[in-house]
Chains A and B, each alone.
Chain A
């Protein structure tokens, strides 16, 4: 078995590793942004990614009406039509993921920061009423109706008992995140049309080889992923460093109290941070479906863990660190799998993380959202 020397597949592994690494990096940005501002591991970020893959699926099939197969073959599209479809999917993923991230922030985190508002109360109340409804009804529809009716009074009650002005301990945020993550995943698994089965997304892009590099086929889907990820990251860096809002994000990351005194609307900045993370995850999700044509209720979990590893590897809170961490992780996973066998993939990732942290306790580039410069 050991005769499969890595050099024979080296460039193959490099291309796929960079492509997967780019997806890791985009998701890692979400972890790093939120961590930089709130010092919180947004455990539910992986579900934002999962929502993005489903948004892409819904856009392609329900909105654009693409079939899964046409006469037994993939529904390939070309030219302008293809570009439009891809852009529509990207937009759908970004919007839904962004919205999901914002809703998550306001319902599951904001009340814990002691500034719970109507939005959070309504979402929490609806979910509570829905859960109570599960007791009485068996059909999702009557459950929904019960949930909507119950929302009003429960939301009013919740608004009254929100612990205003009292910051919860950090662990509470983490558990709330875990709870939200579990609930979102399970909701998709229970009420999704295919339950816990895998979903397919229509494949519109024919995976043609564009050119050969060092004897390796460079496929178009990998090129799109790598270039797309670089573009999105550049846009994010420009936003954080060059705009007024971006300055606000950096200010809050540096010192919440001072930023507050200087008139920064901290809650709004946090919202923007989640939105940015969600949009990046949405982009990653669309690219993911482009390469792998699939989704599943629990698709985010492992990818989220890996992306978080990438964020820590690069230096959590550091935007460029997320990119570097993602690429390093994607590549080393691929090389490592080729050397030791695919079953050791995750072990390789975590051992790498351990070794890096031994020598650089704050990751490869160190943590510094506040000081990020282009």
Chain B
């Protein structure tokens, strides 16, 4: 075992996780299913983790309420990271203004349930998702013809335009924001009250699981394969007959919809939003979450989102210095693990099986 190799194995705990995954893949179906069920159950019990001896000491957030951090930050960041991962990780489009879609979702719910109408949250939420999706299409149609870094600055501008417009338009509540936003309806024992964050967490976690399920289906479909092709080499993909514009627009719209969904959940939980909830820096944090976890890998996005949301709260003791530490950590992770904590596996063989032979050149293109 060489020196550098041993060091790398020490620094990357993530690798052992993926080995565990491989080992599980070899097990029978029932073993895999029960393992998954236990994991999901453990996730639903997350708000109680701080009560478990050693584990609790690791995860708890001193100085702030753990269940509230889970709902206000972690759930939102994970959902947003999943959505942004579609845009950045799967389709390879650099989006620096993702907070715009998040804001559109939150504002749609706020306007429809408090500012200008009194619709229930359950009705507002799908409308918010649709409106965000529409915003994605409206922004994407003219801009997705641009390449790479032009797209980055244009999306960044879009995020700012949304925030400034909300800040200066009376109809959108201007800088005072919108309060008294409707909460989700109570279902049986799940009562969505101001003082109990747990029901919101269960709702958020369920949403995340559904989104993950749907995204997995999508990733393995024709759409997902087209995204792969576009990301690896857009020209080649175009040459092979992939309608790159259409699929890029799909990625943008789906990403935007998930961002809007996160926004609607946030608005329903906090019941008050104002433009300063959606600063430009948040877009950058979202992107950092995706790339830190491993762009293109859904599990990476989940881990990255959760870490970026949870870490500053866990290390509140650093107070003023936590943002500095976060910046240093970003550089170090990128220098020593540029593919992120949980890198995307390149499952070339499987793609080749299910892909038309004519596109092999496009996929043979390694990053």
Q: Do A and B come from one complex?
A: yes
Chain A interface, DSSP helix/strand/loop, else mixed: helix
Q: How large is the interface on A (under 10, 10 to 19, 20 to 34, 35 or more residues)?
A: 35 or more
Complex formed: what's the CA distance from A223 to B218 in Å?
59
What are the interface flags for B311-336 relative to A under an 8 Å C-beta threshold, 1 for contact and 0 otherwise? 00000001011011111111110111
Is A238 among interface residues, defined by CB-CB distance under 8 A? no
User: Hey, which chain A residues are within 8 Å of B8, CB to CB?
Assistant: 161
B325 x A131 contact (CB < 8 A): yes
Min distance, Cβ A103 to any Cβ of chain B, angstroms = 12
Is A181 among interface residues, defined by CB-CB distance under 8 A? yes
Is A112 among interface residues, defined by CB-CB distance under 8 A? yes
A179 x B329 contact (CB < 8 A): yes
B150 x A161 contact (CB < 8 A): no
What are the interface flags for B163-201 relative to A under an 8 Å C-beta threshold, 1 for contact and 0 otherwise? 011011000000000000000000000000000000000
Is A232 among interface residues, defined by CB-CB distance under 8 A? no
Complex formed: what's the CA distance from A294 to B112 in Å?
44
Is B230 among interface residues, defined by CB-CB distance under 8 A? no
Min distance, Cβ B76 to any Cβ of chain A, angstroms = 20
Min distance, Cβ A176 to any Cβ of chain B, angstroms = 4
Complex formed: what's the CA distance from A116 to B331 in Å?
13
Q: Please give me the residue from chain B that is nearest to A134 by CB atom.
A: B321
User: Hey, which chain B residues are within 8 Å of A84, CB to CB?
Assistant: none
Complex formed: what's the CA distance from A159 to B295 in Å?
26
User: Hey, which chain A residues are within 8 Å of B7, CB to CB?
Assistant: 157, 160-161
Is A87 among interface residues, defined by CB-CB distance under 8 A? no
B154 x A172 contact (CB < 8 A): no
Complex formed: what's the CA distance from A235 to B346 in Å?
48
User: Hey, which chain A residues are within 8 Å of B150, CB to CB?
Assistant: 312, 316, 357, 361-363
Chain B interface, DSSP helix/strand/loop, else mixed: helix
B69-123 CB contacts (< 8 Å) to partner A: 88, 94
A134 x B325 contact (CB < 8 A): yes
Binding-face segment, A251-259, A284-292, A342-350: A342-350
Is A41 among interface residues, defined by CB-CB distance under 8 A? yes
Q: How large is the interface on B (under 10, 10 to 19, 20 to 34, 35 or more residues)?
A: 35 or more
B154 x A186 contact (CB < 8 A): no
B334 x A112 contact (CB < 8 A): yes
Complex formed: what's the CA distance from A163 to B336 in Å?
7
B142 x A354 contact (CB < 8 A): yes
B324 x A112 contact (CB < 8 A): no
Q: Please give me the residue from chain A that is nearest to B174 by CB atom.
A: A343
Is A183 among interface residues, defined by CB-CB distance under 8 A? yes
Is B299 among interface residues, defined by CB-CB distance under 8 A? no
User: Hey, which chain B residues are within 8 Å of A181, CB to CB?
Assistant: 327
User: Hey, which chain B residues are within 8 Å of A236, CB to CB?
Assistant: none
B331 x A180 contact (CB < 8 A): yes
Min distance, Cβ A355 to any Cβ of chain B, angstroms = 10
Is A353 among interface residues, defined by CB-CB distance under 8 A? yes
Known contacts A108-B331, A344-B168, A186 near B156 by CB under 8 Å: no
B149 x A35 contact (CB < 8 A): yes
Known contacts A175-B291, A353-B154, A112 near B338 by CB under 8 Å: yes
A169 x B332 contact (CB < 8 A): no
A161 x B164 contact (CB < 8 A): no
Is B3 among interface residues, defined by CB-CB distance under 8 A? yes
Q: Please give me the residue from chain A that is nearest to B325 by CB atom.
A: A131
Q: Please give me the residue from chain B that is nearest to A317 by CB atom.
A: B149
A134 x B318 contact (CB < 8 A): yes
A354 x B143 contact (CB < 8 A): yes
Is A358 among interface residues, defined by CB-CB distance under 8 A? yes
Partner of A357, one of B154, B324, B329: B154
B339 x A161 contact (CB < 8 A): no
B128-176 CB contacts (< 8 Å) to partner A: 142-143, 145-147, 149-150, 152-154, 156-158, 160-161, 164-165, 167-168
Is B287 among interface residues, defined by CB-CB distance under 8 A? yes
User: Hey, which chain B residues are within 8 Å of A173, CB to CB?
Assistant: 334
Is B34 among interface residues, defined by CB-CB distance under 8 A? no
User: Hey, which chain B residues are within 8 Å of A308, CB to CB?
Assistant: 153
B336 x A161 contact (CB < 8 A): yes
Is B4 among interface residues, defined by CB-CB distance under 8 A? yes
A103-136 CB contacts (< 8 Å) to partner B: 107-108, 111-112, 116, 124, 127-128, 131, 134
B334 x A172 contact (CB < 8 A): yes
Known contacts A134-B318, A186-B324, A361-B150, A176 near B335 by CB under 8 Å: yes
User: Hey, which chain A residues are within 8 Å of B168, CB to CB?
Assistant: 341, 343-344
Known contacts A112-B338, A190-B320, A175 near B88 by CB under 8 Å: no
User: Hey, which chain B residues are within 8 Å of A162, CB to CB?
Assistant: 335
Is A187 among interface residues, defined by CB-CB distance under 8 A? yes
Is A213 among interface residues, defined by CB-CB distance under 8 A? no
User: Hey, which chain B residues are within 8 Å of A186, CB to CB?
Assistant: 321, 323-324, 327
Partner of B339, one of A134, A172, A316: A172
Is B292 among interface residues, defined by CB-CB distance under 8 A? yes
A131 x B284 contact (CB < 8 A): no
Complex formed: what's the CA distance from A371 to B153 in Å?
24
Is A309 among interface residues, defined by CB-CB distance under 8 A? yes
Is B367 among interface residues, defined by CB-CB distance under 8 A? yes
B330 x A116 contact (CB < 8 A): no
Sample of 5 further A-B pairs with CB below 8 A, known A39-B149, A189-B320, A357-B143: A41-B149, A186-B321, A190-B324, A347-B165, A361-B145
* Contacts from B to A (Cβ < 8 Å): 3-4, 7-8, 11, 88, 94, 142-143, 145-147, 149-150, 152-154, 156-158, 160-161, 164-165, 167-168, 280, 284, 287-288, 291-292, 295, 318, 320-321, 323-332, 334-336, 338-339, 367
Q: Please provide the 8 A-B residue pairs with the shortest distance between their CB atoms, ordered closest to farther.
A: A179-B330, A350-B157, A182-B327, A168-B338, A183-B327, A186-B324, A172-B338, A176-B334
* Contacts from A to B (Cβ < 8 Å): 35, 39, 41, 107-108, 111-112, 116, 124, 127-128, 131, 134, 157, 160-163, 168-169, 171-176, 178-187, 189-190, 305, 308-309, 312, 316, 341, 343-344, 346-347, 349-351, 353-354, 357-358, 361-363
